[in-house]
Structure 1
Amino acid sequence: MGAATTVAQNMSLCDKYTTALLKDNNATNQYTLMILLVNTAVIGNYTTTPAPKNAVPGILANGTFDGKAVNLLPYFDGSLLSSNRGGSSGVSVNFLDGGGAEPLKKNLPANDKNSHQYTLLTHLYEFFGVLLQCSEYNKNPAFPAYAGHDMESAHRFMDLSPSEVGYFIQQVGLSAASFGVSQEDVTAVGNSLNKLFGYRCSPPTVVVPEQGETLNSICQNEMCPLDEKARCDLYPNNGTVVEPARVNGTGNSTGNGTGMGMPNATASGTPGFSGAANRMGEGVISLLGALAFVVAL
């Protein structure tokens, strides 16, 4: 997407890269761009047109981040009691019940519109639209408004560690880079997104306009950095999160994708990564860092 440099600089990132990659900057194409970014971040490279500019293993692949082993699959396949359904503890939800990787490779969220997978993926597309300021977001039926919960509610029972959040963010950043998002654009928004989502007990602020002020900390593990204006008193249990229990006999916390075809990956030195693309992905918060684990139903 080298043509992106010729696009007016006052355009949002969504509009800028929709124009550069898909030419016509309309609601359908903006939503398509979100699909490409999200699906690639989840399952890794799958497109041939456009051809990827760097490798993306995907968040369902085993990997390492800052020297720590990471396996995010159990949060998605129902292996953990980590999903919020309004109770006092997490429950098991299989978010791969709509066909897994197969429909994503066809630029679809799932095979079944009644599946948890369909709900999760469409919410991710919508949330990307908010954060990247798509001009047609919530203005056209082709790009509906975000229909999920706030970030604190969505991640309340996950106890995500900095390395888990960092690895997810890396994959999303690499996905953006694979479609030509410039390092300049990644850097431009990185710090603000990190402050918004990457600190423990962050005070309420507006992320999704339709929701007003919400609590948005995704990284609530005790190892996560504490926000300098922390309001742990506003979070359940004063911001304390308990590691989610496993569901007996479901999933495999050491598996590499349960038939999803996911390779192992590392946070650095991954074959096929260019130096610039690797740096873009390795920042603890990248262009799309705010999207880490938006399991918001």
Structure 2
Amino acid sequence: MLFKSLALTAAAVGSAVAQRPSNESLCDYYTTALLMNNTAANQMTLLTLVVNTAVIGNYTTPNVGIMVPGILTPGTFNGTEVNLAPYFSGGLASSNTGGSSGMSVNFLDGGGAAPLKMNMPANDTTSNQYILLTHLYEYFGTLLGCSMQGTSNDYPAYSGDNSMYEVHKFMDLSAAEVGYFITQVALSGASFGVTADDLQPVGTALSTLFGHRCAAATVVIPTQPSALQAICIDDTCPIAATSADCAAYTMAAVEPVSANSSNMASSTTRGTATSTGSSTATATSSGAVATATKNAAAQLGVGMAAVAGGFAALLL
């Protein structure tokens, strides 16, 4: 299938990706490197691949040899055991549905991993899973500078919540949990051939925005107002080095309780689904991808295993 061919292309990008011009965004550069044409549809495909892999782990075969366990897979970060799955499955009353405490919301209600393995966000366009995944595609597209985003229905602009603190404030995420999440995102990028030099500023930016307690309000999405963004708010989280504003974070960190019948949301509870024109991102033909693979293979000269070996140290 096409997205499996894309991973083979990623394996062949090699030394070419080390030459990204400083005035070209990560999204624009790697869309061209992997998919040849820098279109809105191709940018959506790139972010779909990266986000889906970050969530469920490697599902493209072959890849460049970078092991991505996935956000939903229990693991460790700096020696601390981490299991983020209950935040997604509704096992914890940790979602902000607009009330004074967390509610249980199942964000895997659109088919779970199966549609993600088919390069889709969900099996439908109304589930919590669809809303979450499409918002992730859009949010990270803005962070990575996708220049074609918002120019057509092939890749809509992000229109979700502007404060990641408000979204996550009932989760009581620890430094290890946030670090594990960021690491999976970064390893996913590495698995498609993104270089360590390009991944380091991404990891630093994510850590600065979300991983530091009391971080001052800031703008992330240019079309949205300044808002609190820290999702790491418990005592294990490092305090922001500059402009810390702890008073702005009025919600005390409280560990979420296990879900029960009284704290379960019965339906989709946050926002409305963002139209993407199609639930399956499309890109260049498989023939064009095969040609790109053949041409790029001649330039292969960089071992991406080195990226995986040193990446965690770049993040926090």
**Which TM-score tier does this pair reach, normalised by the shorter chain?**
0.7 to 0.9
Moved over 4 A (4+): none
Aligned twin of 1:166: 179
Q: 2:45 aligns with which of 6, 27, 32?
A: 32
How far 1:74 moved relative to its partner?
Answer: 0.4
- Residue pair 2:173, 2:232 contacting (<8 A) in 1 also: yes
- When Rg is computed on C-alpha atoms for both structures, the one with the higher figure is 2
- Determine the C-alpha separation between the residues in 2 that align with 1:6 and 1:198: 30
Aligned twin of 2:103: 91
TM-score by length of 2: 0.78
- Residue pair 2:41, 2:155 contacting (<8 A) in 1 also: yes
SS in 2 for 1:277: helix
Q: Deviations over 1:79-107 (max 9, x none)?
A: 10000011100000000100011000010
**Aligned: 1:284 with 2:298:** no
How far 1:141 moved relative to its partner?
Answer: 1.8
Between 1:240-249 and 1:95-104, the stretch displaced more is: 240-249
Q: Which amino acid aligns with 2:255?
A: E
Q: 1:79 aligns with which of 86, 91, 99?
A: 91
**Aligned: 1:230 with 2:261:** no
- Residue pair 1:170, 1:282 contacting (<8 A) in 2 also: no
Give the length in aligned residue pairs: 260
- Determine the C-alpha separation between the residues in 2 that align with 1:187 and 1:245: 35
Q: 1:148 aligns with which of 160, 185, 190?
A: 160
Following superposition of structure 1 onto structure 2, how do residues 3-42 of structure 1 map, counting pairs within 5 Å? 3-42=16-55
How far 1:220 moved relative to its partner?
Answer: 0.8
**Aligned: 1:108 with 2:120:** yes
- Residue pair 1:172, 1:281 contacting (<8 A) in 2 also: no
Q: Which amino acid aligns with 1:226?
A: I
SS in 1 for 2:223: helix
How far 1:226 moved relative to its partner?
Answer: 1.1
Segments of structure 2 that go 5 or more residues without pairing to the other structure are 1-12, 262-303
SS in 1 for 2:32: helix
Aligned twin of 1:258: none
Q: Deviations over 1:39-60 (max 9, x none)?
A: 00001111126x3431111111
- Determine the C-alpha separation between the residues in 2 that align with 1:278 and 1:127: 27
- Residue pair 1:53, 1:177 contacting (<8 A) in 2 also: no
Aligned twin of 2:188: 175
Q: Which amino acid aligns with 2:185?
A: V
Aligned twin of 2:305: 274
Q: 1:242 aligns with which of 254, 269, 272?
A: 254
Percent identity over the alignment is 55
How far 1:221 moved relative to its partner?
Answer: 1.1
Between 1:16-25 and 1:228-237, the stretch displaced more is: 228-237
- Residue pair 1:37, 1:175 contacting (<8 A) in 2 also: yes
Q: 2:77 aligns with which of 45, 50, 65?
A: 65
- Determine the C-alpha separation between the residues in 2 that align with 1:46 and 1:218: 28
Aligned twin of 2:204: 191
> RMSD over aligned Cα, in angstroms?
1.8
How far 1:281 moved relative to its partner?
Answer: 4.0
- Residue pair 2:213, 2:233 contacting (<8 A) in 1 also: yes
How far 1:209 moved relative to its partner?
Answer: 1.2
Aligned twin of 2:232: 219
Segments of structure 1 that go 5 or more residues without pairing to the other structure are 250-272, 286-297
**Aligned: 1:53 with 2:78:** no
How far 1:204 moved relative to its partner?
Answer: 0.7
Aligned twin of 1:133: 145
- Residue pair 2:51, 2:185 contacting (<8 A) in 1 also: yes
Distance 1:190 1:69, change over 3 A: closer
Quick check: which one's helix share is greater? 2
